[in-house]
Structures are given as C-alpha cells and as structure tokens.
C-alpha cells in the first residue's frame, strides 16, 4: 500500500482533570456536533538515541486503536507562509513487525537520521474522546479531542507522566475556526499547550533545543565568511529537502539536488582560502563525487530523449535496422545501473559523513582570518579571478584543433563558466545589477556548451551502436545519418557560443 500524505493543522491546550469542555455547537460555521466517540490509543514513538528527529520537530510513531491505526510520520510543512499549526503527515499500514519502521518512512528522514538506528523512545497511552464539528452540508469542519494521556519515556532515564489536554484539528474548516475555538477556550481560562507535541512533553528534560536558525541574510556590510556561510546553508537546505524525493525517483529532485551540490562545490573552490588545511578541496571532491553519481541517471534520460527525438524526425525510408530497439536497450541498461548506483550511494557511510562535515562547517565554521574581512573588499577579487580563468580557458580552446581535444577544451570552458556563475550568485548582494549580468551571461555559456557536450556524448553512443549493428550484419546507414546530424548540431552550438562570448561582460563585479 502506498503512503498517504496530507496536511495536518491542529492546536493543543493544557487543561486539568476538572476542566469541562465548553459548548462547541455555537462556534461560527458549526451546525451541529456529533455524539462523542471514545478511543483507546496506544502509540510507540521512534527516534535515534540522540533524538535527531525530535531536534528537527519530526515525530514518528506506530499507533494502534482509533480509526487511523498505523505508522504516522509528522513533518514541518516546509512551505513559506504556512503557520506553525500546520504539519505534513504521512501514514503507512501497521505491518506485522511493531519495531520495523516502513522503508518509505525511513527514506523520508534518512537524510537527517543518516546511519543512526531508529528505536522506541516513548510510549503514549491515551484515552481520547472525539467531538466532530459539522457544517451546514454535514461536512466535517474539525475534530475536538479530549485526551487523557499516560506517557512513558523509555530511555536512557525512564520517566512516567500523566496529563490532560484538548486538541482541535481542522478537517474542512478554516483557520478562523481555530481562532474562534481559541477565544472560547481563553474565556474559560484555557491556554495553548506549553509543548509543541505530546512527544515533546513526554521527553521532559530530554527534549532537544530548537534547530539552529539559518544564518542572517548577507548584506553589503557582511564579512566574506558570512557570504560563504549563507550560500552554503541555503544549498544545504535544498539538499536536505530534495534527498527524500530523490529516494522516490523524482527526476526533478535529482536535478535540484545535483545543482545544490555543484553550487556548494563551486563556491568552496572560489572561497577555499577561508577554510584551513585544504578542507574546501576535500569537501569539493566529495561533492563532485555525489553530483556525478546523481547525474548519471538524469544525463542518461536526457540523452535517450534527444536521440529518440532525432530518430523520429528522420524520414521513414531512411530509417533502416533495429535502431530504436538498440537505443532503448542500451539506455535501459545504463539507466538501471545508474539508479542502482544512486540508491547505494545515498545509503552509504561516505555520503552520510559528507553531510556531517557540511553540517559541522555551517554550524561552527573553522574560518581563517580572511573570512573576517569585509566581503566588499575581498569577494570582487575572487570573482575577478574566476572571470580571468574563464577568459584564459576560452583563449586556450580557440587554438585547439577540431576533434576530441577541442571538445574537451570547450567542456572545460563550460565548467569554469558554471563556477563563475555560482560564485557571482553568492555575491549578488554586493553589486546586484552588475552581478546579475555576469550570472546571466555565464548561465548562457553554460547552457550552450552543455548542449554541445550532450552532442559529443551522443556521437560516441551512435558510433558504438553503429559498430555493434555492423558486427551483427545490420545496416548501419541511419546511425551515420544521426551522427552527422549531431556533428552539425555541435558546430551550430559552437557558433552560438562564439556569438554569446562576444557580449560577455568584460568585468566581473
């Protein structure tokens, strides 16, 4: 069964044993309230020994009883503009093993848990009385729950607590209904709960501190280190957000995650003197590794799509042999291998240690003295250096004769343009208009030469498949036509690059 994923909007209120739930039928929009229904709920909460999930305000539980028995994963909504009352909730069936967390839920938190082990940390037994609020058409607007809770913290220091709370969860109602309930409760002296969740309260003195806030947005007066730190933090957040989607074979997430790793690698290379003992180079090598593994599957799909489109545009009488079948078979095998490699890498200790290292740099950057200097005096020089490398690479490519070495030289130009683009992005706040022009120009060069590289790779595939067809006594005429088409496309793209280069900004920042 597939996981069920939806938004949860709720508020909790602390009450004592003598509190009486006020009338609910007079709330705005409420037509009637169903007769109360009682449930006995028993939930075991899972986390790592050091409470990694709780530190990120994530709860994972297996609950029996009630009408939604199963595994529940609750995550912050992660959507700008959503209030603190909203969370994402994912459900999966109970399964047969009460201590085996479903693989789909593990994948959603693996980027945070890494190679930590998920174990039971809290058990909650809850006697719940549910009051369903309905609107004019009978639609369920919200559920008000009266919970009497017994909580047992399991380790390392056992702790038992008991309390009572009221909880209102929206179903089809509006946030205004939540506010109306809050007003009614407040009139009776009832206030919001002091803990974000039942789990938080059950953890007692072991509840982790709030996760670190992102670095302050950089400004023209920021230090060089602040610029680097803000950029790394933003890209790390992209990586953490995309990782669970990559594990579910989301092609766009693969692209976004790879771009994030490339951005981090680029700025680390440019700002390398801000970190000691070659740390930037070490992190950059690992980021390059993960980007290469992630990109293999997407590059395979793009290349397959391009060649299939080129083949479909050929006149039917000029398509001879089993070309489509050979293309499909070749790319299917490559894609399967790339996907397997990506899945293996994302669960590898090497990947987890890279995440640990990036977290450590962002949390407590071991900056050199250069990082303390004003960005406006240091960063323009760094960007200028990258711009000079790009111009040197372009000059070098011009004198390399046509052939594999020339194609490799253009590919090197593309990589340096990409680095210039990302480095300049990190410095947009210093000189926005000038930096934006450089970013746009570098991106254009990167895109054109990216297509050129795709054409070079396509020619290699066509040559290989054409030779195999020839050996198998098949007519390889169409492979030659497609190869010539890619040669023409490559020459056209190189011409476009030369035109784009003529208008490339002469100065960086």
- pLDDT recorded at residue 76: 85
Alpha helix positions (H), 68-123: 103-113
Alpha-carbon gap, residue 179 to 181, rounded angstroms:
5
Alpha-carbon gap, residue 270 to 262, rounded angstroms:
12
Q: Which residues contact 433 (CB under 8 A, 6 or more apart)?
A: none
Q: Which residues contact 347 (CB under 8 A, 6 or more apart)?
A: 110
**Cβ(199)–Cβ(57) below 8 Å:** no
Alpha-carbon gap, residue 413 to 426, rounded angstroms:
20
Backbone angles phi, psi at 431, to 5 degrees: -140, 80
Query: For residue 359, how many other CB atoms are within 10 A of its CB?
Result: 14
**Cβ(144)–Cβ(24) below 8 Å:** yes
**Can you identify the CATH homologous superfamily of domain 224-502?**
CHAD domain (1.40.20.10)
Query: For residue 462, how many other CB atoms are within 10 A of its CB?
Result: 24
Q: How far apart are the first and last CA of the chain?
A: 54
Fold observed for domain 4-206: Hypothetical Protein Pfu-838710-001 (2.40.320)
Alpha helix positions (H), 313-400: 323-346, 349-363, 375-398
Q: Is 393 helix (H, G, I), strand (E, B) or coil?
A: helix
Helices then strands, each counted (H, E), the chain: 13, 10
**Cβ(321)–Cβ(475) below 8 Å:** yes
Alpha-carbon gap, residue 197 to 210, rounded angstroms:
13
- pLDDT recorded at residue 77: 73
- pLDDT recorded at residue 7: 78
Of the candidates 474, 100, 101, 192, the residue with the CA atom closest to the CA atom of residue 320: 474
Alpha-carbon gap, residue 119 to 106, rounded angstroms:
12
Handedness of CA 335, 340, 341, 346 (dihedral sign): positive
What value does the CA radius of gyration of the chain take, rounded to a whole number of Å?
Answer: 29
**Cβ(332)–Cβ(304) below 8 Å:** no
- pLDDT recorded at residue 79: 42
Ranges of the chain with pLDDT below 70? 1-4, 6, 78-85
- pLDDT recorded at residue 1: 44
pLDDT in tens, 166-202: 999 999 999 999 999 999 999 999 999 988 789 999 9
281 half-sphere exposure, CB direction, 13 A CA radius: 4
Alpha-carbon gap, residue 472 to 113, rounded angstroms:
51
What integer best gives the mean pLDDT of the chain?
93
Query: For residue 392, how many other CB atoms are within 10 A of its CB?
Result: 12
pLDDT in tens, 27-64: 999 999 999 999 999 999 999 999 999 999 999 999 99
Contacts by 385-388, CB closer than 8 A, 24 or more apart: 385/270, 386/270, 386/416, 386/419, 386/420, 386/423, 386/424, 386/508, 387/420, 387/438, 387/507, 387/508
pLDDT in tens, 85-142: 678 899 999 999 999 999 999 999 999 999 999 999 999 999 999 999 999 999 999 9
Q: Kindly provide the residue ranges of all beta strands, DSSP E only, lying in 118-189, ordered along the sequence.
A: 119-134, 140-153, 159-170
Backbone angles phi, psi at 280, to 5 degrees: -60, -40
Token output for 172: 């089809």
Of the candidates 272, 335, 270, the residue with the CA atom closest to the CA atom of residue 305: 335
Alpha-carbon gap, residue 443 to 493, rounded angstroms:
15
224 half-sphere exposure, CB direction, 13 A CA radius: 25
- pLDDT recorded at residue 472: 92
Q: What are the residue boundaries of the structural domains of the chain, listed by start?
A: 4-206, 224-502
Of the candidates 38, 39, 58, the residue with the CA atom closest to the CA atom of residue 48: 58
């Amino acid at each position: 069964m597939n996981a069920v994923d939806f938004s949860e909007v709720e508020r909790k209120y602390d009450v004592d044993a003598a509190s009486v739930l006020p009338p609910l039928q007079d709330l705005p929009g409420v037509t009637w309230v169903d007769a109360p229904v009682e449930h006995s709920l028993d939930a075991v909460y899972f986390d790592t020994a050091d409470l990694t999930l709780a530190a990120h305000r994530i709860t994972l539980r297996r609950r029996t009883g009630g009408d939604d028995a199963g595994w529940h994963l609750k995550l912050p909504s992660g959507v700008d503009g959503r209030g603190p009352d909203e969370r994402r909730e994912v459900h999966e069936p109970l399964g047969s093993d009460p201590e085996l967390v479903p693989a789909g839920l593990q994948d959603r938190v693996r980027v945070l848990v890494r190679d930590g082990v998920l174990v039971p940390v809290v058990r909650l037994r809850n006697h719940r009385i549910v009051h369903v609020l309905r609107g004019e058409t009978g639609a369920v607007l919200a559920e008000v729950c009266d919970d009497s809770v017994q909580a047992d913290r399991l380790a390392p220091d056992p702790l038992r607590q008991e309390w009572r709370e009221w909880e209102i969860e929206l179903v089809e109602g509006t946030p205004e209904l939540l506010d109306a309930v809050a007003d009614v409760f407040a009139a009776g002296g009832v206030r919001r709960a002091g803990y974000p969740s039942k789990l938080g309260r059950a953890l007692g003195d072991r509840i982790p501190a709030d996760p670190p806030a992102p670095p302050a947005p950089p400004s023209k007066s920021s230090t060089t280190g602040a610029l680097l730190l803000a950029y790394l933090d933003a890209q790390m957040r992209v990586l953490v957000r995309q990782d669970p989607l990559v594990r579910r074979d989301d092609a766009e997430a693969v692209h976004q995650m790879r771009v994030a790793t490339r951005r981090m690698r680029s700025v680390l290379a440019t700002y390398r003197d801000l970190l000691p003992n070659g740390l930037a180079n070490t992190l950059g090598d690992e980021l390059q590794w993960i980007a290469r593994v992630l990109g293999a599957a997407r590059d395979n799909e793009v290349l397959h799509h391009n060649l299939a489109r080129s083949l479909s545009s050929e006149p039917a009488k000029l398509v001879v042999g089993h070309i489509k079948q050979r293309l499909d078979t070749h790319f299917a095998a490559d894609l399967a291998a790339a996907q397997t490699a990506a899945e293996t890498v994302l669960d590898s200790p090497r990947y987890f240690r890279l995440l640990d290292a990036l977290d450590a740099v962002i949390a407590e950057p071991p900056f050199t003295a250069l990082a303390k200097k004003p960005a406006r005096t240091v960063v323009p020089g760094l960007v200028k250096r990258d711009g000079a490398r790009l111009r040197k690479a372009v000059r070098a490519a011009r004198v390399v004769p046509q052939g594999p070495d020339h194609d490799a030289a253009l590919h090197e130009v593309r990589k340096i343009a990409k680095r210039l683009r990302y480095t300049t992005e990190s410095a947009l706040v210093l000189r926005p208009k000038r930096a934006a022009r450089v970013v746009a120009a570098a991106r254009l060069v990167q895109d054109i030469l990216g297509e050129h590289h795709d054409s070079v790779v396509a020619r290699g595939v066509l040559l290989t498949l054409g030779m195999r067809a020839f050996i198998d006594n098949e007519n390889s005429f169409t492979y030659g036509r497609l190869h010539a088409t890619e040669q023409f496309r490559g020459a056209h793209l190189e011409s476009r690059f030369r035109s784009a280069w003529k208008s490339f900004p002469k100065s960086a920042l």
